[in-house]
Structure 1
Amino acid sequence: MSPQEPVYWDPYDRDIANDPYPVYQRLRTEAPLYYNDKHDFYALSRYGDIDAALQDWKTFSSARGPILEIIKADIEIPPGTLIMEDPPAHDIQRKLLSRVFTPKRVLMLEPQIRAYCVRSLDRLDGVDQFDFMAEYAKEIPMRVIGMLLGIPETDQEAVRDRADANLRTEPGQQMNVEERGIGNPDLFGDYIDWRVDHPSDDLMTDMLRAEFVDIHDVRRTLTRDEILTYVSVLAGAGNETTARLLGWLGSLLAKYPEQRAELVDDPSLIPNAIEETLRFEPTGHAIARYVTTDIEFHGVTVPAGSAISLIIASANRDSDRWSDPDRFDVRRSVSHLRTFGFGPHFCLGASLARLEARVAMEEFLKRFPRWDVDWDALSLSSTSTVRGWEALPITVN
């Protein structure tokens, strides 16, 4: 795209996805409210506009889904799909799930997460070349989600691969929502049915037992279908996004070895390095919403019934919010980050993702303080919803 041509952004264009940040910069400057006539959606790219939209759930509704393809398909959303509901139903479900997905429960997982990391790294003893994604980044989230849901280790890899495949698209193509549906609930039916008669100390058992008062003022437990939908979304999102976060940490710390050396010398910097990575290279670049009423941005009206994309990755590089935003800096003061959303739909799994990333990098840096990336052999995942490395070949030294 030459500077003379009107700015064009297409979330399904793989050439743009390879390096979208110059396009985002032009959007913020030239078209802060952007309309894509090919796919019929609007987009916001500035931090302030996106911040306001994330908080205004009445105008920017999640009830039709958080992904453009789902909104455009106008399909029926299964009940109990937390990320695809608005208040008051959303608040009831979120309050219930917050009770079983507490900060205390998350923190209690640290010893087990560390054990998974050590075990994965032990397998790499004496190996000087390997794929960081396949051998480490994809391994840890799979084990943690499997443990949380009570899925046997022998089945965890298959569950992860099927959940990840549900997000894949052909390069340049949209997700086929009508064919795939929402999530992949058939993966978990047998586990839920078995857990009914074999309760354990896991999230699935807690969800089966938890009582709440629903939107119809009826006190009940979650239905089987509600649990199926939730755990399928949790497995897909928790596996894919956390693995890609680890992948970005692996590549960025190789690209900036002097900052990696700082983390090796002072591991207390690792949490802040994770926050900077979440800002600099978020795994999810955009969140979609359905517009319920006419609303104006920058002198242009977005009509009710429109789909709109909130480009979080652009907000994360907005110079009105961040100083020198295109510079990666593990010592940057990072606050008001919107990578996990904001407002009613702030990600319930944010603390778990941060914990996994912290422990995984603590253990990796202890074992491998230096590594190089084969930059010519990198490949991005083919999905319109998550951006990250499919493969990350490295050489440790």
Structure 2
Amino acid sequence: MSETQALDRERLRHLFDLRSSYNVRMGGDFTADPYPVWRELREKGTVHEGTVHKLTGYAGDAFFQGLPEPDRPHYSAFSHAALDAAYRNPEVFASSPDEVDPTSGADVYNSMLNMGGDQHRRYRALVQPSFVPARARWWITNWIEETVHALIDGFAADGRAELNVDFCAAIPVLTITGSFGISPERALDVREAMSRPMEIVEVLRPIVAARRENPQDDLISILVEAELKEEDGTTHRLSDAEIYSFALLLLLAGSGTTWKQMGITLAALLQRPDLLERVKADRSLLRPAIEEALRWMPTDPMFSRYVTRDVDFHGTHLPAGSVLHLCLGSANRDPARWDNPDEYDITRKMKASFAFGGGPHICLGMHVARAEMSAGIGALLDRLPDLRLDPDREPPRFIGMYERGVTEIPVVFG
């Protein structure tokens, strides 16, 4: 049995089931459909005072980017036009309220996630070449393909499987940790320690030291060898603290989103057997199936921006220092941009959505995520004949507030 097949399934469920204590702080216990409420809010007005979760009717507290920030006024935007305007104006709608010193310590908040302007552009440029579409084959060959088939090998003979946690969740975490030289048996340790960054630093420390001595074909080596150009024209190699902050951000993003989006896409197809058969027969339909799922139900339906100066925005005055929450989920179903936006329709003309955000901070790993979903779903269709939902098990349900996903995806095949 490979290390991939031997992953502890109970730990996977603890770390990747949205209903678990590990994920509930992002609203993983929210089980209602938020889209009717978001539609009503969008129809009543573009911008509303309050947070997305409170406006939606979620009773608890929910932690996410821009939250909780109890001492700041909060506003939420729900239309495509409003989000487009905010993403196009990062000087007024900033990703962080504070300046970032990337050398001050290893922390995801010291990474390019919270940088703005020229600083963000310079740091992002160091790793951007590894995440462009032309590099998708590098990711697939080195990490994704082997992981996908090893996971399928673990249940292909059983005639049944649970795909959300046992398959979808494992692929991204093994892909991103593998690209850092972290072994599969340590991958779940790293994921579990995301709220304790210094534990992850201790895992990374010997890898970074080894790559400084002997670079390899992986992401840590790219960070070790990268040269950052300063504003005065001088260049320098990244410090260990800068590399750790980069790595923490990439580990958090790389292991925490794609699995949910892959599960959403699989559930949408499995709930429509005729459509699943069409995609199986014509693999050119797999890309629009994935893109439509991204629009129809993005796994992270909200991100936030900090308002840097007083501004009148789509009929609402936003004071400096307030937080504007951008409801991607609502904007992606705005009828001003899409006809019949609540329908999952893979034949519609593809238009760019906000599934991966927008503006300078648009998701760095979006092309890797697409490669993971395409490789994973394609392999399932190749290797599991007559794949269908298990009629004797509860069908998947879409749940979650700030991290949307599905419950179990029980399937039978053969």
> TM bucket by the smaller chain?
0.7 to 0.9
User: Which one is further off, 339-348 or 215-224?
Assistant: 215-224
Find the aligned partners of 1:27 and 1:15 in 2 and give their Cα distance. 22
Find the aligned partners of 1:296 and 1:185 in 2 and give their Cα distance. 43
- Following superposition, the deviation at residue 286 of structure 1 comes to 0.6
- Following superposition, the deviation at residue 301 of structure 1 comes to 0.3
Pair 189,64 (structure 1): closer, same or farther in 2 beyond 3 Å: farther
**Letter paired with 2:175:** V
Equivalences for residues 3-22 of structure 1 within 5 A:
18-22=32-36
Cα deviation digits, residues 44-94 of structure 1 (max 9, x gap): 0000110110110001001238xxxxxxxxxx9767511211111001111
State whether residues 127 and 222 of structure 2, in contact with CA within 8 Å, keep that contact through their aligned partners in structure 1: no
Find the aligned partners of 2:266 and 2:290 in 1 and give their Cα distance. 11
Find the aligned partners of 2:410 and 2:291 in 1 and give their Cα distance. 24
Find the aligned partners of 1:306 and 1:134 in 2 and give their Cα distance. 37
Query: What's the C-alpha RMSD, in Å, of the aligned pairs?
Result: 2.7
- Following superposition, the deviation at residue 195 of structure 1 comes to 2.7
Pair 23,77 (structure 1): closer, same or farther in 2 beyond 3 Å: farther
- 2:394 pairs with 1:394: no
Equivalences for residues 84-123 of structure 1 within 5 A:
84-112=114-142, 113-123=144-154
State whether residues 279 and 316 of structure 1, in contact with CA within 8 Å, keep that contact through their aligned partners in structure 2: yes
- Report the counterpart of residue 309 of structure 1 in structure 2: 325
- Report the counterpart of residue 299 of structure 1 in structure 2: 315
- Report the counterpart of residue 263 of structure 1 in structure 2: 279
Pair 308,186 (structure 1): closer, same or farther in 2 beyond 3 Å: farther
Cα deviation digits, residues 299-330 of structure 1 (max 9, x gap): 32011100110001111111111110011112
User: Which one is further off, 287-296 or 326-335?
Assistant: 326-335
- Report the counterpart of residue 72 of structure 1 in structure 2: none
Alignment gaps of 5+ in structure 1: 1-10, 66-75, 167-179
- Following superposition, the deviation at residue 129 of structure 1 comes to 2.9
State whether residues 64 and 290 of structure 1, in contact with CA within 8 Å, keep that contact through their aligned partners in structure 2: yes
- Following superposition, the deviation at residue 130 of structure 1 comes to 2.3
Query: % of aligned pairs identical?
Result: 28
- Following superposition, the deviation at residue 99 of structure 1 comes to 3.5
Pair 342,85 (structure 1): closer, same or farther in 2 beyond 3 Å: same
State whether residues 389 and 395 of structure 2, in contact with CA within 8 Å, keep that contact through their aligned partners in structure 1: no
Find the aligned partners of 1:23 and 1:268 in 2 and give their Cα distance. 34
Equivalences for residues 1-397 of structure 1 within 5 A:
18-36=32-50, 40-64=73-97, 81-112=111-142, 113-163=144-194, 166=195, 185=201, 187-215=203-231, 217-368=233-384, 369-372=386-389, 376=394, 378=396, 385-389=402-406, 391-396=408-413
State whether residues 62 and 290 of structure 1, in contact with CA within 8 Å, keep that contact through their aligned partners in structure 2: yes
Alignment gaps of 5+ in structure 2: 1-24, 55-69, 99-105
- Following superposition, the deviation at residue 390 of structure 1 comes to 5.2
Cα deviation digits, residues 206-249 of structure 1 (max 9, x gap): 11111121245431011211111111111111111110111112
Pair 377,102 (structure 1): closer, same or farther in 2 beyond 3 Å: closer
Find the aligned partners of 1:303 and 1:77 in 2 and give their Cα distance. 29
Find the aligned partners of 2:268 and 2:200 in 1 and give their Cα distance. 32
After TM superposition, the score normalised by the length of structure 2 is 0.79
State whether residues 94 and 307 of structure 2, in contact with CA within 8 Å, keep that contact through their aligned partners in structure 1: yes
Pair 93,301 (structure 1): closer, same or farther in 2 beyond 3 Å: same
SS in 1 for 2:299: coil
Pair 215,185 (structure 1): closer, same or farther in 2 beyond 3 Å: farther
Find the aligned partners of 1:393 and 1:297 in 2 and give their Cα distance. 45
Cα deviation digits, residues 246-291 of structure 1 (max 9, x gap): 1112211111111111101101110111000101111111110000
- Report the counterpart of residue 22 of structure 2 in structure 1: none
User: Which one is further off, 359-368 or 109-118?
Assistant: 109-118
Find the aligned partners of 1:390 and 1:315 in 2 and give their Cα distance. 24
User: Which one is further off, 224-233 or 38-47?
Assistant: 38-47
State whether residues 247 and 388 of structure 1, in contact with CA within 8 Å, keep that contact through their aligned partners in structure 2: yes
Find the aligned partners of 2:242 and 2:251 in 1 and give their Cα distance. 14
After TM superposition, the score normalised by the length of structure 1 is 0.83
**Letter paired with 1:160:** R
Aligned residues: 361
User: Which one is further off, 200-209 or 39-48?
Assistant: 39-48
User: Which one is further off, 237-246 or 93-102?
Assistant: 93-102
Find the aligned partners of 1:239 and 1:350 in 2 and give their Cα distance. 13
State whether residues 193 and 199 of structure 2, in contact with CA within 8 Å, keep that contact through their aligned partners in structure 1: no
Find the aligned partners of 1:296 and 1:195 in 2 and give their Cα distance. 50
**Letter paired with 2:404:** R
Find the aligned partners of 1:134 and 1:78 in 2 and give their Cα distance. 25
SS in 1 for 2:117: coil
Find the aligned partners of 1:181 and 1:155 in 2 and give their Cα distance. 15
